[in-house]
Amino acid sequence: MKSMARFAGSVLSVAVAATCTSSAQSISEPAPLIVNRSDTKVDTNPPNSIHGTVVVGIALSDGIVLAGDSRLTQAGPIPGFQSRVLSDNGSKVFSVGKFGVATYGEAFMQGRTIASWVDDYRSKENKPTDDVDVFGTKFSAFIKNVYDASFPQPANLPPNTPTPPRPTLGFLMAGYDVHGTGKLLFMEFPNSPVPRSSHDTHQNTGAQWNGQTDVIQRLVMGFDPSIGMLPAFNSVSNDQKAALGSQLSQLQYNIAWNGLMLQDGIDLASTFIKTTINMQRFANGTLLTPVGIPGVGGTIEVLVVKPSGAEWVKHKDLVAD
């Protein structure tokens, strides 16, 4: 059976999408900075797959930060198959002209890395006159064509036969629109291929993280969303679950996103990924789900996108001994 090479999946990010983002809203001085906490949801379903990678996007008033690790892990459908690290030299953050892109999910399509497909788009499709909205639409269409060819839906399935799931491939995209607003966009194949705005540099500063995000969510949100898998949680009514989820949201750290400088965003994004790497060094999942892999590792690459364009803060270069 063929094993799959992946950068990352959504162990928690799909089921707890609201928990994967935090937002702040700028207000006029001299009032204090106020953070609007996102609604918090808990995961009541056990994860059906395990992947690596963490990518982080942070939109601040001075620009947008994209960061990601470099680990490539291999997993297969064989029961008892042990995932392993293939490489710590994968590329998951990209500069595409004046835009930035970060990816998580499948690492290859049609036997080629995601990086090679991004290179194709950069050389053939990207236009200097595009704004981030046009870029997002064009990049989505480009990737969708490749994704559908790589993972086609089976034809002529018998009646009442469930459609086999297709692998996750997600992207964060950063750039500025025609009005000068920086936007953090996201899309995820196969279910959400249309780019949507997560945060921006004006009225909705904040962060989004995707991939193997349990460490970040415990740190920022104050609890693991898989709390919904606990038998005690499932023994209460739906109204009580909703009330508990609302109360748990108050444990979220009160980060004043609209007061952070660009360097602060770089430091915070790097901290999220470094903390995940370090925690995975010491833990093998949780007692509830004791199946963990050190899926985040290697060099942390950081790209910033400002009105003047995209620039690398930290980037791997090819070297030889």
CA distance 203 to 293: 38
Which residues are registered as beta bridge partners of 73? Answer: 6, 85
CA distance 20 to 294: 20
State what percent of residues in the chain have pLDDT above 90: 64
Note the pLDDT of residue 51. 53
The domain spans of the chain are 4-20+48-153+165-213+260-314
CA distance 74 to 45: 24
Alpha-helix residue ranges (DSSP H) falling in 72-204? 114-124, 132-150
Structure confidence by residue, pLDDT tens digits, 236-247: 898 998 898 889
Mean pLDDT by 10 residues, the chain (321 residues): 41 29 27 32 43 89 98 71 84 98 95 96 96 98 97 87 91 98 97 96 96 94 87 88 88 94 98 96 86 88 98 96 87
Note the pLDDT of residue 44. 43
Query: What's the CATH number of domain 4-20+48-153+165-213+260-314, 3.40.50.1820, 3.10.560.10, 3.40.47.10, 3.60.20.10?
Result: 3.60.20.10
For the entire predicted model, the pTM comes to: 0.84
CA distance 280 to 303: 24
Residues 6+ apart with CB under 8 A from 157: 163
Note the pLDDT of residue 264. 98
